[in-house]
Each structure stands twice: as structure tokens, then as C-alpha cells.
Structure 1
Amino acid sequence: MTKAFGHLIRFVWTYGKGLLFLTSTLTVLLGVMPVIMLWLSKETINEVARLIQHPAMDYSTILLLLLLQFMVTMLTSIFMNTQEYLNGKLTNVLEHAAQSSVLQKVISAPLFYFDLPEFYNHLERVNDSPGHRLLSPLRQAFEIGRIFITISGYLVFLLTVHWSLVLLSLLAAIPMFLVQMKFGKRNFWLKFGLTPLVRDMEYTRSLLKDRHSAKEIRLFGLGSYLLNRWSEAFSHQFTEILKILRKQQRAEIGMDGLTALFYSGAAMIMIWLIQTTPIQIGQFVAIGQAVQGTQGLTNQLSTLLAKVFEEMLYANDFFRFLDYKHPESENQAKGTEPFPAALKKGITLENVTFSYVDTTTSVLQNIQLHIKPGEKIAIVGENGSGKSTLVKCLMGLYPLAKGDIRFDDVSIRQLAPDQLHKNMTVIFQDFLKYAYTLRDNIGFGDITRLEDTDAMNEVAATTGVAEIAQNLREGYATFLGRFLQEGEDLSGGQWQKIALARALFRQGTIIILDEPTAALDPLMELEVYKLVRDLTESKTTIFISHRMAAARMADRIIVMENGRIAESGTHGELMASNGTYARMYESQAQWYA
């Protein structure tokens, strides 16, 4: 917890040290103000009492005291509102910094992290207004400082009257603090345990609200089922929270009764003091205010201390997320070597073996493969044979458990990841359809050349996207889809051409197509692959498909089964061998008849 508090102070100081200094100064001033007001009230009441006894007495002192009370009241208001403004500003600064830190962690995380439910659960926990949650313990610490200053002033005043008043004013704070801390801890761990349920609930709710899922939900009549699923999860979460809340409120009722009991004891002492010592009426009123104020503030102090403890559990979880590092990430490529300017020997895979994190089954087993520069390779096989996993290893997205991948003579472990990715172009099966403009959807292939209009027009013309742009209301500035704005909906084939244009805009030396045409009919798929072959004549191209007809356009076909290379050769050679490829091809031949 101490380590987390140190992280928090450094984090806040880094992004808001000026605001933090001003807030600290105002906290001290606000802590002193109630004590000053208590003294002014006592003196005012005493002066009024003297004026009642001596009507002819000059009342200029009373006017001065009232003026000072007015000034203290106005200054308190100014300080409080200024502090509230600074807190709001600091909250926004920290919210931006905290969310940026979380997003930076997400975008820099290895791809295999997204196969880990624990990573998603952790992300869900820290993603709830992190800036506000991180500032909360500091705001409470400032409030604790203010209250402590005020209580100290009250206690000094009460100590001048009788030591027992100090004791009775403080006794109620101890059990209140213990109760609040106990339930603060319970609340945090309840939220911690409910995270998977909350993720399920939020996912179900997003399905009900999402435009793309709306069609299927209506067609299959899933609306009521999903609504009930969400409702049951919500009710379970709400029930668990209420259980703790009910116990907490009962405990706090008991603590309020204890506070009232101690105040009654203080009142008895005050009556005893009136009988045994000469006390002015102003001092009597001030004693009552000081006792009541001290008890109220000590209860607040106990609640705030417990709240700080609870929020520091969140802060600790937040910084643990930023420091999250799975042991397997040590195998991730972290080299610094540049990518070969032009491949001369090609790509070599030596005994490549891969297993998903926290599993013992190998998805890829001892893959041996050499790809010549400029060669067109088709990787085919049934679903689950390891095709997509192989190319993800090739792209450096998954760390190798064993073996190596070399580009010419440079190991993938020696290559700088950004250099590797810069020289690769890929279209995935689930390629993204950005709800931005057509220009963005192409330019995201190489964000550094987003304003290179000539290059964009060139790839648009060769892929057929230029014809799509001509039919859009605002050409390349048209938003696609209707998620962000009233944009244009496109067909699957049109999106396919845009994805191809984005890939070619990157100008990578290695082109990878990971079943991007799976959603198209077989004949349309052939057309796309023919276009790709024509446009990537001099580039090394690897395309994955479970459709055999498209593979015929490759220089060489790799057949995968159960994470291994089962066959390798040209279409003619594999058909002649009458093995797995021939069987798969013949079973699909009717599609193209």
C-alpha cells in the first residue's frame, strides 16, 4: 500500500504539481477558518452579553467582530469554491493522463495478452474513471489535513477548559474508523470478485445496443433471452452490493448512537463546569460548539481515512495494471536490427513451435519452411490447423516457444518490431472497417503518408476504390457507415477493395492475406486473389485460405494439418500425390463447376 501511495504521489505530481501546490495552500487556510470563526463567535456573544448588562457601553467592538465574521465567511466561500474549481481541473488533467496511460499500456501490450481473461478483467477494473479514482484519495487526504487542522484548534481550546472534554470528543472516532475501514475493504474485494460478471453484463448490453448485432438478434429472437441474461447479472451484482450496504448502515447507526452517548457525557461535564468554575456565556456556547464540532469532524476523519484505504486499493490495482508483465512476454522480440533492405535469401522458418499462454498443447510443431524472395505461397488447411497462428508468428505478434524465423540472415528476435511491421502488409479475415472517412480507411495503411494524395489516388485506381469514391457524396472525405455520422454503407466487396488499397498503400515488401475473402463467395474470392497477384508481382506474398481453387494461383502450396506441414508443392504435384490437398480440392470442385 505504501508503494502504491508513492506511485500515486509521483503520478499526480508529474501531471499536476502546480495545481497540487495551490490546493494544499487552500486546504491549510480552510482548516484554520473554523477555529477563527469559533473564537470570533465566542467574543461576539460575550460582547453582546456585556452590552445587555451595560446598555450605555460602546458597541463598536461588536460591529468590528461582526465585520470580521462576515469577512471570514466570505473568504471561506472563496477558498472552498476556488479549491473545488482546482479539483475539477486537476481531475480532468489526471483523467486524461490516467486514461492515456491505460491506453498506452493496451496498445503496447503483446498480442497474446488479449488471449488472457485476467488481462481483460484487470483492464475492466481500472477503466472506470481512473483519473477521478486516483485523485479521490488525494482529495480525501487534503480533506483529512483540513479537518485535522480544525480539530487541533478545537482541542487546544477544549484543553484550556478541561482535559476530559478532549478525551470524550475523540473516543467515538476509533470504532467509527475501524467500521469504515472494514466495509471499505469489503466493497473493494466485492467489486474485484464481480469483475467477470460485470464484463458479461456489459458485453450483453453492448450486443443489445449495437447496430451490427441488431439484425441477428431480431432474426433469431434473442432479444428477450439477452435482456434476461443482462437483468439477472445486474440483479446478482445489485444484491451482493446491497448485502454489504445493509450491514454497513446497521453498523453506522450503532456508531451514531455511540457518538450521541459520548456527547451526552460531554454535556454532563459542561454542566459540572458551570457549577464549579466561572464561565462566560460565550465560552459556554463555544465549548458546546467545539465538542460537537470535534465529534462530528472526528467521525468524518474516520470515514475519510477508511475511504482513503479503500481508494488506495484501487490505486494499487491501477499501478499493478500499468506494471503488468506476463512471464511469457520475455520471449517477445525486442531486437534493434533494421529489416534487410531487400530480401536476397528469403524467409526461413526453423523448427518453429508455438503454444498459447498457459496451455501445454502445441499449436505449431517444428515448422520447417523456406520462402524465396518474390515467391507466392498459399497456406491451406482445415480450420484449426494452425494457418493463422503461423503467420502471426511470422509477423512477430506471437513469441516463439522454440525455433527461429530469419529474414535473410537476421533472426526475428534481433529485428526491431517496428522495422518488421513496417515491411509487412497484411489483410486479416476480420479486417477493420473504420467508421472514419474513406481517406482514413486507406491512409491508415501508412499513417506517416496520410496526406500523400497522389499515392492514395494511385492505389485507389489500381484496386477499384477510385470508382467507389466517385459514387460517394463527398468522395474520399465521406464517412463510411452510420456509426459516427450519416455516412455511406458499403457492400462486402467494396470494403474488401478498400482493405486491399489500405494494405498496398503501406508499400510493404511482404504481403500477407489471412483469409480476408472468407466472407465472399468463391468466385468473388478468385477475382480478389487474381487482383492481388497482379498488384504484387514483385513482392513476397503469403495468402491463407481454406478454399483450394484460390491456392492454384500460388507458386507453391503448403498444406497444414494439426499444427504441422503435411504437404508442400505445386497444385499439379499435390494433385498427383493424391493426398490431403487432392481430397480437399475435389470436395470443393463443385463450387466452381
Structure 2
Amino acid sequence: MFFTEASKTWCVDTTMITSTLRKSRKGLVMLWRTSAGVRHLIIISAVFGGVMAALPYIQITATQRLVDVLVAGSANGLSPGHWMVPLWLLLFTFAAMQLMGSLEPWLDVSMRERQKGEMSTALWQKVSRMPLSAFEDSQKLDMMYRALAATDGVYLIWSSLLKNLLGNIGGNLLILVMLWNASPLVAVILLLATLPTGWTTLHVTRRLGEAAYGYTRLERKRLYWMGLGFDAYAGAELRLYRLGKHVEMRWAALSAERLREQARCEKNVIQYLILPTMLFLSLPYIAALTLLTVSAVQHRISIGTLVALAVAIGQYRTSVSALIWHFVSLGEQITNLSSYSDLLNHEEEKQQNGTSKLTFHKELRFDNVCFRYPRSDTYALRDINLVFRPGERVALIGENGSGKTTLIKLVAGLYQPTEGRITVDGQDISRLPADAWRSKVAVVFQDFVRYALTLRQNILLSDNEAASKQTLLQKVLQQTGLDELAKMLPGGMDTVLGREFDGGRDLSMGEWQRVALARALCRPEADILILDEPTSWQDAFEEFEVYRYFQQWAYPNKTIILISHRIAPAALADRIIVLHQGAIVEQGSHRELLARNGMYAQLYAEHERRCRTG
């Protein structure tokens, strides 16, 4: 709901103003530090606002002078020297305002694109350094969505605060000075009428910003359902199961809910802003104009002054109304900016400084490690005590949800333990720079990424010294069978993979999986190679080749960890670790575990039975 009962009480709450101004100030400071180009545009905006503040005052003053000269001259005669100066001044202000109006869209576009590019770069750099667990926290994802929206809309804060505030507030102050000189009472009436309007505006702006938090998750859900319609891989099931109508209905329902929330906001804006504004501005405007008319009738002010001040009061009222809507439009943007600032201040993974390298010569040890995902009360892993040694071939087996993938992400340093610690040669990896340990690990994930890049770039994606790895690349291509695939591609190794862009050639899932495997093998500095279901998309012959390499790969000091639902590949490992409901229930060699007649022996017996019965 947009307005709670508490929000309907119009008590004096200074935090309302300070919170809004503080968040706006963050935007000003942040954008000022973005780049020299943006700073130049900010200065131009400030000058633009100052000029826009002065022009109405000059226009009104010239109008007053011209009317007075014409009225006086109607009785005494006119000479060009009397009326030409105010006329040319008036024409100058018209031309200047026309020019400023033409420059304003260019200024807005220039500032928006520069600021968007700089802020998007900073945002990307930040999220790449955040812990992976942040991307599995729905509240953190909401914050990221708002921060991303801020990159496209924060320029409005600058535009409104600089051009509109300087222009409108500065112009209004000059108008009030002019009114004070003619009639202090009129100036006081208009000023006092503005104060409650400004207070109401700040209140509504803050409430609109708070409502933006509620919209975030709704918008993310809408984008999710919309995205399914544009996803080539989801498209197959949508058509096969005739889900298109269902997805459309879900999206339409969320869109209708969003419109209802927006209508509720608009209703409250009308109730708490538009109607009070009409009351606070219209009646004082009528009263001020009446007082000035009476003064003109009593010859206390000239006809020119009456005309100029009538125009000034109308300008003042229009300017205040414009300021109100500028502030209201900033409500959501200020909220997004606050999320952007919070995101930039979010905890980061420890980054590596210098070129110091971590060694893995003795062991990787898990000591009483427990882990649970963000905002979950259930442990995914419990009391894990485990040691991996250089050169070992280790197999992890267990049913779905037993914690195998979570365990390897802890091995890779992508997660940190909730309890306990993980050490490499005695060093706690949670206290090490993230990249220092991850550079020692290569992983083939079950849900590997298919990059819309060339075959060569897909394999050497993260390698900054690709030119020096050609010998290794050729060896890996032969090991994974991609050398034959490269010969069949129209551009060889430089063929773009996937159909997202022109000229791309898609691969089968088995071929994509081999590309992911080759990517992992092209990291010779990695001491640990993790294979998460590396043959899930392979046919029987390809599966045999992968596991033959698993047993015979000439990496004597490289630890290889295999995750598989199949029992047969696990028998090739030096050690087998059996996981059940997040805990290790047994570990040992194939023969040792068969002799214990535990869970592994039961799984193996079932495997043998199915092989005999076909």
C-alpha cells in the first residue's frame, strides 16, 4: 500500500526533509566524481539554471518599463529613445529563452548518456567483486535492480536540482523581491502560501520513494515472465506444452497489479498534493492580484507595474507548480540512487594486491564446516571434515540435494563457510584475496555458460596470455575432441558460437560441454580440477573417453574432483566421498566401501543389478 495510516498524519517530521535532501546530496557528490566530462556538463547545467532564473526577471522588468513608457507617451508623445531600449530588452529575453529551450534537450541527453555510461561501469565493477551469495539473496537482487535503474534515471536529479531548482527558485526569489518593493504584503502572502505546499510535496515525494521499494520485486517478476518469451531455450517448452498463454496471463496479472498500485499512488497524489496545491496557490494568487489592482486604482503603483507584477505572480505560481512536479518525479529516482549508493558500499570479496601466489603443496582441509544459503534456516552442509591432497582423484557421490555442488563451490572459494573454516597448507582461505585461491581452481559446472564468442575465445576466455598458450590449446583440443569439431566449423577456431548474433553457429549440448571442459583444462596454473557431471550431455562413446582421460590425464600433481550420479565412474577414483543430506556418511576407496557394506555398497549393488537386467 502506498499510504499507511501513519503516513496520513501531517506532523512536523524533520527527518522527512533531511532524508530526502541527504539522498539527493549523494547523487550530486556521486555524479560530480564520475568524470571530468560529466563535471563539465554539471557546470553547464548550473550556468543554465542561473540564466533561466534571471531571464524571467529581466522579461518582467522590461515589460513594466515598456508599458509605463507607452502609457506616459500616449499623453505626452513618444520618442524612439524611450521605448526602443525596453523593447529590445524584451525581444532579447524572448530570443534567449528560445535558445535555452532549444539547448535543454541536448544538455539532458548529453548528461544522461555520459552519466549512464560511467555509473554502469562502476556498477559492473562492483557486482563483479561482490560475494556470490549476494546473488542468491532476493533482497540483494532487489537492491541491484534499483541500482541498475538508477544508472538510467539519476541524471534527472541533476537536471531537476540544477536547472529547475536554480532556475525556478532563483527566479521566484527575484520575483518576491520585486513584489516586496511594490507591496510587501503581497510578497508575504505568496511566500506563506508556498511553505505548506513545499512541505506537502516533500512528504508525497518521500512516500513515492518508499513505494518504489514495493514495486521492485513486482517489476522483477514481470521482467522474468516477459523474459521467458524472448528466451530461445525456454521457447521450445513454451510451444511444446502450449504455455504461451499461461505465461502471458501471469505477466498480464502482474502488470495489472502494478497498474493498481500506480493508480493508488495517483489517487493519493491527487488527494494529498494536487487539491492542497490548488487551495494554497489559487486563493493567495487571487488575493495578491486583487491587492495590486486596488493599489493601481489608488495610483500607488503604475499601470506598467500592475501588468508586470500580474505577469510575475502568474510566473511565480507556474514556477512553484513546476517545482512540485519535479520533486514528485524524483521520488523513485532518489530511492534508486540510495540503493545504488548502498550497493557501492556493499561488502566485497578481498581482492589480491601484487603478484604473490598461493601454493598448494600439502592439503586443502575442511574443519567442522557448515554452510547455509542466505535467509535460509536449513544447513546445506553440516559438520564437514575433509582433506584433499595434491594429485588425488576424488569422486563425490550422493542423491540430488545432498550438497555435492555446494561443497565444490566451497572448494572453489565461491562461498565462505557459515561455520568452521577451510585452509590450504594451513592458511584460512577466507582471509586470502579471492582471486589468489580461485586461480588455483578450474571448474566445469553442470550448468556451464555458453558464451556468444568464437570457439577460441570460449576456451581462452579469461586468459590474458592466450598467444603463449597455443601449444597447450592444441593439446586440449585433441583431448576433448574439439580439434575435429573446429575443422567442420566454417571459420574454424574463429567461428562465433550460438545464434544470438549474425554468422553464429550453434553446437549440441554435448559439444558445448566439451567446450566448457576445454576452458577448464586451459588453466595450467590450476592445482585442482573439478568436474561436475562432465558427461551429462555426452553419448556413451564420449563418456568413455572423458573418464579414460580422468584416469590417465598426465597431471601428476593436479587434484581432480569428480561429481557424478553414476556409480561406474566413481570406481575409477582414488577416494570416494558419499554425501547424504549435507553430511559425509562414508569415504574410502572403491574396495574399502564395498567391504563396509554401507550406502555406497548398496548403490553399487543396485547399479550392478540394473546392468544385468538391462
TM over 0.5: yes
Equivalent in 154, 164, 174 of residue 134 of structure 1: 154
Equivalent in 225, 238, 244 of residue 223 of structure 1: 244
Post-superposition offset of 1:256: 2.5
* SS, match of residue 365 in structure 1: strand
* SS, match of residue 178 in structure 1: helix
Post-superposition offset of 1:440: 1.6
Post-superposition offset of 1:470: 1.4
Residues 254 and 367 of structure 1, relative CA distance in 2, 3 Å threshold: closer
Q: Which amino acid aligns with 2:589?
A: T
Post-superposition offset of 1:591: 5.3
Residues 6 and 247 of structure 1, relative CA distance in 2, 3 Å threshold: closer
Post-superposition offset of 1:230: 0.9
Map of 2:605 onto structure 1: 586
Contact 1:141/1:308, CA 8 A, preserved across alignment: no
Post-superposition offset of 1:576: 3.1
- Percent identical pairs in the alignment equals 27
Contact 1:44/1:282, CA 8 A, preserved across alignment: yes
Contact 2:293/2:306, CA 8 A, preserved across alignment: no
1:7 maps onto 2:26 in alignment: yes
Map of 1:511 onto structure 2: 529
* SS, match of residue 446 in structure 1: coil
Q: Which amino acid aligns with 2:530?
A: I
Looking at structure 1, the residues matched to 218 and 329 of structure 2 have their Cα atoms a distance apart, in angstroms, of: 25
Equivalent in 361, 367, 370 of residue 353 of structure 1: 370
Map of 1:367 onto structure 2: 384
Contact 1:333/1:399, CA 8 A, preserved across alignment: no
Map of 1:281 onto structure 2: 303
Map of 1:576 onto structure 2: 595
Map of 1:213 onto structure 2: 234
Looking at structure 2, the residues matched to 333 and 295 of structure 1 have their Cα atoms a distance apart, in angstroms, of: 55
Map of 1:191 onto structure 2: 212
Equivalent in 404, 407, 410 of residue 387 of structure 1: 404
Contact 1:425/1:512, CA 8 A, preserved across alignment: yes
Map of 2:335 onto structure 1: 313
Map of 2:9 onto structure 1: none
Looking at structure 2, the residues matched to 528 and 310 of structure 1 have their Cα atoms a distance apart, in angstroms, of: 53
Contact 1:443/1:450, CA 8 A, preserved across alignment: no
Question: What is the root-mean-square deviation of aligned Cα atoms in Å?
Answer: 2.6
Equivalent in 426, 432, 446 of residue 415 of structure 1: 432
Q: Which amino acid aligns with 1:446?
A: D
Map of 1:29 onto structure 2: 51
Equivalent in 535, 552, 562 of residue 553 of structure 2: 535
**TM-score of the superposition, structure 1-length normalised?**
0.91
1:296 maps onto 2:318 in alignment: yes
Looking at structure 2, the residues matched to 278 and 4 of structure 1 have their Cα atoms a distance apart, in angstroms, of: 47
Residues 366 and 338 of structure 1, relative CA distance in 2, 3 Å threshold: farther
Map of 2:576 onto structure 1: 557
1:170 maps onto 2:191 in alignment: yes
**More divergent stretch after superposition (134-143 vs 202-211):** 134-143
Gaps of 5+ in 2: 1-18
Looking at structure 1, the residues matched to 293 and 419 of structure 2 have their Cα atoms a distance apart, in angstroms, of: 84
Looking at structure 1, the residues matched to 107 and 51 of structure 2 have their Cα atoms a distance apart, in angstroms, of: 15
Q: Which amino acid aligns with 2:30?
A: F
Map of 2:15 onto structure 1: none
Looking at structure 2, the residues matched to 236 and 313 of structure 1 have their Cα atoms a distance apart, in angstroms, of: 21
Looking at structure 1, the residues matched to 278 and 467 of structure 2 have their Cα atoms a distance apart, in angstroms, of: 64
Post-superposition offset of 1:93: 2.0
**TM-score of the superposition, structure 2-length normalised?**
0.88
Map of 1:324 onto structure 2: 346
Post-superposition offset of 1:245: 0.8
Map of 1:235 onto structure 2: 256
Looking at structure 2, the residues matched to 387 and 260 of structure 1 have their Cα atoms a distance apart, in angstroms, of: 70
Residues 25 and 258 of structure 1, relative CA distance in 2, 3 Å threshold: closer
Residues 473 and 415 of structure 1, relative CA distance in 2, 3 Å threshold: same
Map of 1:442 onto structure 2: 459
Once the two structures are superposed, the pairs formed by residues 467-478 of structure 1 within 5 Å of their partners are: 467-478=484-495
Map of 2:287 onto structure 1: 265
1:149-181: CA deviation from partner (whole Å, max 9, x where unpaired): 211221222122212221333344234333433
Map of 2:12 onto structure 1: none
Map of 1:125 onto structure 2: 146
1:544 maps onto 2:566 in alignment: no
Aligned residues: 585
Looking at structure 2, the residues matched to 260 and 7 of structure 1 have their Cα atoms a distance apart, in angstroms, of: 35
Looking at structure 2, the residues matched to 156 and 524 of structure 1 have their Cα atoms a distance apart, in angstroms, of: 86
Post-superposition offset of 1:306: 4.9
Residues 391 and 580 of structure 1, relative CA distance in 2, 3 Å threshold: same
Post-superposition offset of 1:124: 1.8
Map of 2:544 onto structure 1: 526
Contact 1:30/1:80, CA 8 A, preserved across alignment: no
Post-superposition offset of 1:207: 0.9
Contact 1:574/1:581, CA 8 A, preserved across alignment: yes
Post-superposition offset of 1:253: 4.4
Residues 239 and 344 of structure 1, relative CA distance in 2, 3 Å threshold: closer
Looking at structure 2, the residues matched to 573 and 76 of structure 1 have their Cα atoms a distance apart, in angstroms, of: 89
